[in-house]
Amino acid sequence: MSVHPFDLAIALDAVAPGRYRGHTSTAYANMIGPFGGITAAQLLAAVLRTDDRHGTPLACTVNFLAPVADGEFILSVRKTRQNNSSQHWLVELLQGDDPDPRANATVITALRRETWNAIEIPHPPVPPAADVAVTEKPALMRWPDSYEFRFIEGGFPSRSEGPELKSSCTIAWMRDQPPRPLDFPALMSLSDSFFPRVFVRRPRWVPAGTMSITTYFHCTDTDLAAVGASHLLAIANGQVFNGGFFDQTAHLWSDGGQCLATSHQIVYFKE
């Protein structure tokens, strides 16, 4: 049985205490360099590889500082604080002789307890994944081939210019392609799988890229095991576009109606 491309992408070799060597993945290539979601997943995977980690991911902020070049990278992981029920981590992605990181992340891992639970964000009425057609992908970059998209609202940004829309909302059933049981790195990557909202809102391709993404996890390993390889309901919305930057939010739901993750990112764009 062959190894799933996502597992190959997040595979890390321990080269020294707190240092792991990884490699960019052609299956998750963007137009230039890797898809940001896979870089985010690799940074989170480094924390999960440490010997003294306890708990599961609660929050992960990834900053994209400079383009990641195709090839090897080193992930340097530092535990910045150990508390009774949580740990804080700082991860840096380094390449070649460059003394500055190309990406970094702050991560919180924590032990969850059974408590009063509630979901305040709306879950839109949607047809089941099986009733929504799989969308053909634009052949512009590789990484979308590693996901299955079934769009309910919105879709891939058009390559031709169109009139400005009032909303950049996208609603889709999504999962890894080929299907793969969900884990935290995959959920992190999925939280960054939404095209820049500026492409959707004002149909026109312009240079754009995520500068920082923060994802909050609302689930345990048990919750993710229950999801398995089924589809997630993925919802993204733009917020404020100003001065060459904008932010967008995302909600990722299991098909059982649990909100597994909420995410927020800031993106640059050029005209």
The residues that touch a second copy, with contacts defined as CB under 8 A, are 58-59, 61, 63, 65-66, 80-83, 86, 88, 90, 92, 100-101, 104, 106, 108, 110, 112-121, 167-168, 197, 201-202, 211-212, 214, 216, 218-220, 237-245, 247, 249, 259, 262, 264, 266, 268-269, 271
| Residue 153 bridge partners (DSSP) | 171
* Cβ(39)–Cβ(93) below 8 Å: yes
Our CA dihedral for 41, 172, 170, 66, rounded to 10 degrees, sits at: 20
| Shorter beta-carbon distance to a second copy: residue 26 or 220 | 220
Least distance in angstroms from the C-beta of 31 to a second copy = 19
Least distance in angstroms from the C-beta of 36 to a second copy = 15
| Residue 56 bridge partners (DSSP) | 110
Give the CA angle between residues 157, 71, 265 to the nearest 5°.
Answer: 40
* Cβ(73)–Cβ(22) below 8 Å: yes
| Shorter beta-carbon distance to a second copy: residue 146 or 263 | 263
186 φ, ψ (degrees, to nearest 5): -65, -40
* Cβ(56)–Cβ(110) below 8 Å: yes
| Shorter beta-carbon distance to a second copy: residue 150 or 201 | 201
How far is the CA of 106 from the CAs of 132, 176, 187, in angstroms?
37, 25, 17
Least distance in angstroms from the C-beta of 80 to a second copy = 6
118 vs 125: CA distance, rounded Å: 18
Least distance in angstroms from the C-beta of 19 to a second copy = 18
Least distance in angstroms from the C-beta of 47 to a second copy = 14
Least distance in angstroms from the C-beta of 41 to a second copy = 18
| Shorter beta-carbon distance to a second copy: residue 26 or 239 | 239
Least distance in angstroms from the C-beta of 63 to a second copy = 5
Pick the closest to residue 105 from 72, 62, 136, 67 (CA basis). Answer: 62
| Shorter beta-carbon distance to a second copy: residue 128 or 207 | 207
Give the CA angle between residues 195, 25, 133 to the nearest 5°.
Answer: 45
| Shorter beta-carbon distance to a second copy: residue 19 or 264 | 264
Bond before 178 cis per omega within 30 degrees: yes
| Shorter beta-carbon distance to a second copy: residue 175 or 251 | 251
